Structure 1
Amino acid sequence: MDGRIHWMGERCSAEMRWGPVLRVLVLQAAWALSGGQVRYSVPEEAKAGTVVGRLAQDLGLEAGEAEARRLRLVAQGRRASVEVSGASGALLVSSRLDREELCGKSAPCALRLEVLLERPLRVFHVQLEVTDINDNAPVFRVDEEALNIAELSVPGSRFPLEGASDADIGANAQLTYTLSPSEYFSLDHQGNNDQSASLGLILTKSLDRETIPVHRLVLTATDGGRPSLTGTMELVISVLDANDNAPQFNQSVYKVKAPEGSELGTLLVTLSATDPDEGINSDIMYLFSRRVSTNVKEMFTINENKGEIRLQGKLDYEETDSYEIPVEARDKGYPPLSGHCKVVLEVLDVNDNAPEVWVTSLSVPVPEDASLGTVVALLSVSDRDSGENGRVRCWVWPASPFGLEATFLGSYSLVLREALDRERVSEYEVEVRAEDGGAPALRASRGLQVPVSDVNDNAPLFAQAVYTVLARENNAAGAELARLWARDPDEAANGRVSYSVWEGGVGVGGGAAGSSYVSVDAESGRLWALQPLDYEELQVLQFEVRAVDAGEPPLSGNATVQLFVLDENDNAPALLPPAGSAPEAGGVAAAEASAALVVAKIRAVDADSGYNAWLRYELWEPRGKGPFRVGLYSGEVSTARALDEADGPRQRLLIVVRDHGEPARSATATLSVSLLEPNEAALAAGSSAASAAVSRSAAGVELGPAAASAATNVWLVVAICAVSSLFLLAVVLYGASRWAPRAAVLSGPGPTTLVCASEVGSWSYSQRHSRSLCVADGAAKSDLMVFSPNFPPPPPDSAAENDTLASFIFRSFLIVAIHHS
């Protein structure tokens, strides 16, 4: 009793000496050279708010950078009881640290923490060691243990005792035992306080039940801490009479190994005990000790007669890696005696746990211009098995464009290994695969969806570099000419294209800008005309259309549009006044007018081109077998036969000029022809030499002979001589013009390029604004050449200087009048 009071006093004294403030012991706060790891140490039971270490400073961060870049701990499966101060970046104790709760009997107790630093994303690994303090006193399973010892027990007999347990580790858990003073008993402690250690009560003196039937002793357990803590248990020893030999096992500790997952009913061990007594006192039955735990009773069974221990529950190495089974061999004497042993079962690990993969952080979407080495995700990989069974190998499938980098034990970073292109692949299905080193190996995987965000890296591209557009002239304003389309593989605003006419494109017609003739819809790319097109003003318009996306910065692409204006037959032939040359103004006597004599030439032009400007001349009146005919394409009016008096003194011809367009357009000319006597024709020729040209306003008006009576004989002689000379000159010039090559161009001075059509009627155009008509002599086919008219303007009208001479000339010549209609 005195020993118990003494023990309680020592315990109270130790508790009073323990101060309320724990001193923080920082063992190490430096980078480990091998893996970039920060390590700290803190004693358990440290108060909340205790500074474990200056984490931000140890990570090389500047003041205030920890809060700006959001330095924080990554949440783990097990609460770490520490936190990072956002303001100072220090690692603080946030809640009570109990080493025994965190690590049990494991030593050292090291917590692995992941520290995340954002903007940019970086991960650091911190190892926090929780050191043990002597905060747990030794504890016996029961406060009182009853022992039955036969009085015939010989001195030196050993009776096993259940020792105390201490939740601490190291020196704090090294227990020493003392027994209250007794002349009959002493304490025997063998081993190093591990599972194989044995504590027993030694009988030092023979017992006499009649003298002392019950012995009460106090067993004290003291740990090795500073200050040390103690625990006690009272031993109540009953001295039994008679059966004085207890069963004895052949070994005090049985060590057994069994793989986890063994089948139920598996035989683990067969115990053997002997009793030197005879009879009923030597009959032994095997039992679990009274101090066996409920978990052991649920996991194992023991055969009372054979001593066989069999498995009746499922062994799981990850839950419990060893079992301690106390067994008692009891005889059937009266009182019964018992022998004790301990069965230590070591559970062997098998590869029955597949690896586990967790995603602790995921930064998506990834821009397609992300640099190589960009961290996309942080992963944690673990396996509950041990040894090779728990060693995990990880990889990414498919192998590109991402890869894994090991950052710490069980921690990986998913990083970018190859350049991304959203237009080729917009989202990746990434699978992180893990395989352990067991046989057979177990595997696990974790799928990730990594979308790729778009950047404006593609310019709009037209389907064609050059668009050829055909448009008929006289089209309505606003008419759709074509639709342009440019493709931009980017998405959203980066791929939204708008169209516009680029002012750099200049049309060929008069140097006009394309934007003055056409416009393009900004959204649809529809090309439409701003005004009606006129082929006679503009034949080809070349301009550029630009497509610009809405990205930042915007990208653009161009396409060239060649707009060809197709001619319509919208211009009727236009008649030109006579030029006043000999073929149009000369005359002959009726008696001398033979067949094929050219008396006039009808000249007309058409502002259109091609077949629309190809003219033909037809004699509309008189029809039938008249004395005159018109060249189909030359417009020359000539006699069809010799003239006689039966044809009458005057002929009126109606000539139609028609183009080849669809529908055809036409113009009409009225030609008046007067037949004269030969002598009057000669006088008219002389008078025409004196007056080189008559007024154009007189063309087509026939003058009567009444005005000729006022002429004098002198003027008549002069006129006859002049007319004779000029007539001869006119005949020579006319012959030269008839037999000269017909390829002469009826246009003004200056070089002109001739472009002739083939016999099938196809046309080619000169880029000049000139047209001409040519007829090849002697050819079996007629080729047409079209140019713009370039005739010299007609001479201005002049008044007759002498009315009498003018009257004589008009009476003496073959009068030709052309009327336009």
Structure 2
Amino acid sequence: MRHKRRNDWKRAAFLLLGFVLLWNTVGAQIHYTIAEEVKEGSIVGNIAKDLGFDVSRVAKSKLRIASESSRQYFDVDTEKGELIVNGRIDRETLCGQAVNCLVPLQIIIEEPLQLHRVEIEIQDINDNAPNFHTKESVLKIAESAALGSRFPIESAEDPDSGKNSLKSYSLNSNEHFRLNVKALDGGRKVPELILDKPLDREKQLIHKLILTALDGGDPVRSGSTLLKIVVEDNNDNEPHFELQIYKASVQESAGIGSNVVTIKATDMDEGINGEIQYYFAAHTPDYVRKVFNVNPDSGEITVIGKLDHEGINSYTFDICAQDKGYPKLEGHSSVHIRVIDENDNPPEIILTSLPNPVPENATVGTVVALINVMDLDSGENGKVSLKIPKGFPFKLKSSFENHYSLITDSSLDRELNSEYNIEIVATDSGSPPLKTVKTINVTILDVNDNAPAFSQTSYNVYIKENNVAGSSLFSITALDSDVNNNAILTYSVVDSKVNDIPASSYFYINSENGTIYSMSSFDYEKVKRLTLIVQAKDHGSPSLSSNATLHVFILDQNDNAPSVIYPSAVMGSVSHQRMPRSAKPGHLVTKVTAVDADSGHNAWISYRLAEATDASLFSVNLHTGEVRTKRSLSEQEDSSQRLLIEIQDNGEPVQSTTVTVDVLIEDGFHEPISDYPKKSTDPNKKSGKITLYLIISLASVSLLCLMTFFMLLAKCARSSRGSSSCCIRRSDSGYKNPNRNLQIQLNTDGPIKYVEVLGGDMMSQSQSFGSYLSPMSEFSDFTLVKPSSTTDFTDTLNVLDASLPDSTWKFESQQTNFGLR
């Protein structure tokens, strides 16, 4: 019959455990109720549905459980959104004999970050039978014990709670004793025997009774013990305590040996029957005996173990006073000791959710982490405040009691701080207060909010002409204060044109390291400066970029030899000049004029007499190229003198050229040998034509200068609105001499008379004309030099200026360039 009742109880228990008895939500908190010992995998409830979530979003939202206990009793089925049992739940192990057994859970939803609190109430099932510590106990009672005398006996314990806990005791039928159950503070039931019929030791020395303890479960569980009653001889006065109950308080920090309370009892008997000793009552639990001790002689109750208010905040137990008579008599009383809480537990900080990395452009109020605090102390000692130091762009926001969110409080900048180590300080309200510090690390994620930056807005690069195509010219670098892809840079040349040619035709840039290479060889005489724009662009999304200007200056090399302009050798390689034999020392025989297409030192020209028929007769001016006589000529001098004049530049290596001049010395006014065709004319007519031609040339040049001046004046008046100066206008050629406009030079020294008119920017479409009038020609002819090449003649004038005599006249113009000799 008992076996059948047990099987029925099991079936009923498992049916009870398989269902959720009750659930309700209060605000943001959900409450479920289940029975203990439920089978693993049993469904507690559909947490997704109760939270208002679509079941299909459970896995995507990363719903999980954060339990405050060390063991995880529950789990979430991410496919169905159900809260299921994760293991065996023993209510007695979890909550002891507490009336309510609540398991708090925190449901964390990662995306978006949310916190929900769930309480699961564990209901007790009748899985424990009442149990006595000893299966057999002996109770000695004097035969003179009066009717109605009470004798406390060992009580049973049942770990179950509620109706499944210990409810009653029963005693087998006998003639002398009946059972009485006394209720103590806290609901504990203690059995005691009451004597109903006098004892007679001589008739029956030992009485055997069976005491059975019953719980209130369905089916009922029970436990029993054997009581052996030994009848002793007379000691007819039992000790009596001064108080029915002793009340005392003790600090939980009380040390071992601290006195809590002293109990006192008296006995009316004399001698050995009146001597009293004190003991714990037979049914005193072990947890009391481990903490307190009763001095058998003095009755002092002292501390022998560690007290903990958070574990047990009060103790209630029985004590007895026993005399030394025969048989021994006992008196009984109760002791209630309250443990006073002290602030001996620091607060505990629990990170419900690990800190999430935060992008630096996160809005104010973004949740970074969820934090719980708890304190095992009670009252003011258990009240906790949570703070973080000032100076952080974060703050704590209280969700509900002892639950906080760490949120952003201001804008973030990863370039200033890439991470924060935040000290969270929890302080209780005890005296003195206890605190706990926990450091959490918050990482700031980079956002592409910084454009690449060059160290300069523009760079100057100098390269020599005739460079090798493909050689490295310059390496340009930009920096980006972002990280990862946001800081990876790509370099490129902005699509621009140099002299109407794309910049990419001249230069190539390594997109990874910014090294710039030349795509061709440069010629200083054709181009002197190039400008290109380099762009650095990061790999962020969206990408950012910045530009820098690169000025490439071409440096001149001495790669051009001097070119002879005058005298020109029309008939072969020899130039013929004439001079009278009566010439005085210093007489100007001729002037050698040469130009060099290079610039600077490379274009500085010097003249020297390399060879001569009579080196003592002629000299050449080092700088001007003028050939003059060094002395007077004698009748014995050869009438033909050959001079080899070498023209050198100042470059390295030196470039040079030579010109050969034949000087014919004539006597009187006889017609000398001429390189030009002979024409019959008389000397007076010839001289008059020379003077006329010279006057016409000077008048023409003067008129031309005047017209140019007025044209420039009118042009300046029209453009004065947008320019402060109109005297100099630079062309795209890069020629930079603003004073190189119009120059007029007149030289009438010696037999060669010439006028030079030079004007305009040599890089513009300027003209150069020359007229040469020589007395050795039959007529005073004009020799016109063809317009000079813009490119090759640019620097020629610079060198030519250095050789002009001091009598040079200069006028400013802008467009026209004439040379008249």
TM-score (norm. length: structure 2): 0.76
Describe how 1:228-247 pairs up with structure 2 within 5 A: 231-233=223-225, 235-247=227-239
Residue of structure 2 equivalent to 1:518: 507
Q: Compared with structure 1, are the counterparts of its residues 743 and 657 closer, same or farther at alpha carbon in structure 2 (3 Å cutoff)?
A: farther
Q: Compared with structure 1, are the counterparts of its residues 769 and 126 closer, same or farther at alpha carbon in structure 2 (3 Å cutoff)?
A: farther
Whether contact under 8 Å (1:433, 1:444) holds in the other structure is: yes
Aligned-residue RMSD, C-alpha = 4.8
Find the aligned partners of 1:469 and 1:326 in 2 and give their Cα distance.
103
Tell me the SS of whatever aligns to 2:523: coil
Whether contact under 8 Å (1:82, 1:94) holds in the other structure is: yes
Whether contact under 8 Å (1:260, 1:315) holds in the other structure is: yes
**Aligned length in residues:** 745
Give the drift of 1:272: 0.7
Q: Compared with structure 1, are the counterparts of its residues 555 and 178 closer, same or farther at alpha carbon in structure 2 (3 Å cutoff)?
A: same
- Output one character per residue of 1:374-423: Cα deviation in whole Å (capped at 9) or x when no partner: 55444454333333333333334575244444556555444444444443
Residue of structure 1 equivalent to 2:249: 257
Residue of structure 1 equivalent to 2:332: 340
Describe how 1:501-540 pairs up with structure 2 within 5 A: 501-504=493-496, 506-507=497-498, 510-540=499-529
Residue of structure 1 equivalent to 2:95: 103
Segment of structure 1 superposing worse, 635-644 or 305-314? 635-644
Find the aligned partners of 2:393 and 2:22 in 1 and give their Cα distance.
40
Residue of structure 2 equivalent to 1:730: 690
Whether contact under 8 Å (1:772, 1:787) holds in the other structure is: no
Tell me the SS of whatever aligns to 2:16: coil
Segment of structure 1 superposing worse, 139-148 or 299-308? 139-148
Does residue 392 of the first structure (1) align with residue 392 of the second (2)?
no
Whether contact under 8 Å (1:370, 1:420) holds in the other structure is: yes
Describe how 1:110-509 pairs up with structure 2 within 5 A: 110-173=102-165, 175-177=167-169, 185-191=177-183, 194=186, 199-204=191-196, 206-210=198-202, 214-215=206-207, 217=209, 219=211, 221-223=213-215, 231-233=223-225, 235-359=227-351, 361-362=353-354, 366-370=358-362, 372-397=364-389, 400-407=392-399, 410-504=402-496, 506-507=497-498
Segment of structure 1 superposing worse, 427-436 or 289-298? 289-298
Q: Compared with structure 1, are the counterparts of its residues 530 and 25 closer, same or farther at alpha carbon in structure 2 (3 Å cutoff)?
A: closer
Find the aligned partners of 2:250 and 2:85 in 1 and give their Cα distance.
42
Paired letter, 2:474: A
Q: Where does structure 2 lack aligned partners over 5 or more consecutive residues?
A: 716-725, 729-733, 748-757, 784-821
Paired letter, 1:731: T
Residue of structure 2 equivalent to 1:669: 659
Give the drift of 1:120: 3.9
Tell me the SS of whatever aligns to 1:64: helix
Give the drift of 1:70: 3.9
Greater share of residues in strand: 2
| Match 1:32 to one of 26, 32, 41 | 26
- Output one character per residue of 1:225-250: Cα deviation in whole Å (capped at 9) or x when no partner: 56665555554444433212211212
Find the aligned partners of 2:768 and 2:539 in 1 and give their Cα distance.
58
Find the aligned partners of 2:188 and 2:527 in 1 and give their Cα distance.
112
Residue of structure 2 equivalent to 1:556: 545
Paired letter, 1:562: H
Give the drift of 1:210: 4.8
Paired letter, 1:671: V
| Match 1:575 to one of 547, 564, 569 | 564
Whether contact under 8 Å (1:252, 1:341) holds in the other structure is: yes
Q: Where does structure 1 lack aligned partners over 5 or more consecutive residues?
A: 685-698, 709-714, 756-763, 778-783, 796-807, 817-821
Paired letter, 2:595: V
Q: Compared with structure 1, are the counterparts of its residues 593 and 9 closer, same or farther at alpha carbon in structure 2 (3 Å cutoff)?
A: closer
Find the aligned partners of 1:620 and 1:427 in 2 and give their Cα distance.
82
Whether contact under 8 Å (1:152, 1:243) holds in the other structure is: yes
Residue of structure 2 equivalent to 1:612: 602
- Output one character per residue of 1:97-150: Cα deviation in whole Å (capped at 9) or x when no partner: 332222112232110112233444433221111123444444444445443333
Segment of structure 1 superposing worse, 349-358 or 12-21? 12-21
Whether contact under 8 Å (1:137, 1:166) holds in the other structure is: yes
Tell me the SS of whatever aligns to 1:255: strand
Give the drift of 1:329: 1.1
Paired letter, 1:22: L
Find the aligned partners of 2:304 and 2:504 in 1 and give their Cα distance.
95
Overall identity of the aligned pairs, in %:
38
Does residue 566 of the first structure (1) align with residue 558 of the second (2)?
no
Whether contact under 8 Å (2:278, 2:296) holds in the other structure is: yes
Whether contact under 8 Å (1:594, 1:639) holds in the other structure is: yes
Segment of structure 1 superposing worse, 487-496 or 255-264? 487-496
Paired letter, 1:286: Y
Q: Compared with structure 1, are the counterparts of its residues 569 and 11 closer, same or farther at alpha carbon in structure 2 (3 Å cutoff)?
A: closer
- Output one character per residue of 1:769-799: Cα deviation in whole Å (capped at 9) or x when no partner: 989877799xxxxxx999649555899xxxx
Find the aligned partners of 2:197 and 2:4 in 1 and give their Cα distance.
31
| Match 2:15 to one of 21, 26, 48 | 21
Q: Compared with structure 1, are the counterparts of its residues 411 and 811 closer, same or farther at alpha carbon in structure 2 (3 Å cutoff)?
A: closer
Whether contact under 8 Å (1:298, 1:312) holds in the other structure is: yes
Q: Compared with structure 1, are the counterparts of its residues 429 and 23 closer, same or farther at alpha carbon in structure 2 (3 Å cutoff)?
A: closer
Segment of structure 1 superposing worse, 482-491 or 200-209? 200-209
Residue of structure 1 equivalent to 2:736: 766
Whether contact under 8 Å (2:468, 2:520) holds in the other structure is: yes
Describe how 1:623-662 pairs up with structure 2 within 5 A: 649-662=639-652
Give the drift of 1:540: 0.5
Segment of structure 1 superposing worse, 160-169 or 53-62? 160-169
Q: Compared with structure 1, are the counterparts of its residues 656 and 641 closer, same or farther at alpha carbon in structure 2 (3 Å cutoff)?
A: same
Segment of structure 1 superposing worse, 167-176 or 347-356? 167-176
Segment of structure 1 superposing worse, 785-794 or 488-497? 785-794
Paired letter, 2:552: L
Residue of structure 2 equivalent to 1:780: none
Paired letter, 2:44: V
TM-score (norm. length: structure 1): 0.76
Give the drift of 1:512: 3.8
Whether contact under 8 Å (1:30, 1:58) holds in the other structure is: no
Find the aligned partners of 2:264 and 2:246 in 1 and give their Cα distance.
11
Tell me the SS of whatever aligns to 1:571: coil
Find the aligned partners of 1:80 and 1:575 in 2 and give their Cα distance.
104
Whether contact under 8 Å (2:262, 2:299) holds in the other structure is: yes
Q: Compared with structure 1, are the counterparts of its residues 346 and 337 closer, same or farther at alpha carbon in structure 2 (3 Å cutoff)?
A: same
Find the aligned partners of 1:669 and 1:744 in 2 and give their Cα distance.
34
Tell me the SS of whatever aligns to 1:175: strand
Does residue 69 of the first structure (1) align with residue 39 of the second (2)?
no
Whether contact under 8 Å (1:29, 1:58) holds in the other structure is: no
Q: Compared with structure 1, are the counterparts of its residues 101 and 767 closer, same or farther at alpha carbon in structure 2 (3 Å cutoff)?
A: farther
Tell me the SS of whatever aligns to 1:21: helix
Q: Compared with structure 1, are the counterparts of its residues 770 and 811 closer, same or farther at alpha carbon in structure 2 (3 Å cutoff)?
A: closer
Find the aligned partners of 1:563 and 1:17 in 2 and give their Cα distance.
96
Tell me the SS of whatever aligns to 1:22: helix
Paired letter, 2:141: I
Find the aligned partners of 1:754 and 1:665 in 2 and give their Cα distance.
36
Paired letter, 1:333: G
Segment of structure 1 superposing worse, 734-743 or 277-286? 734-743
Segment of structure 1 superposing worse, 784-793 or 219-228? 784-793
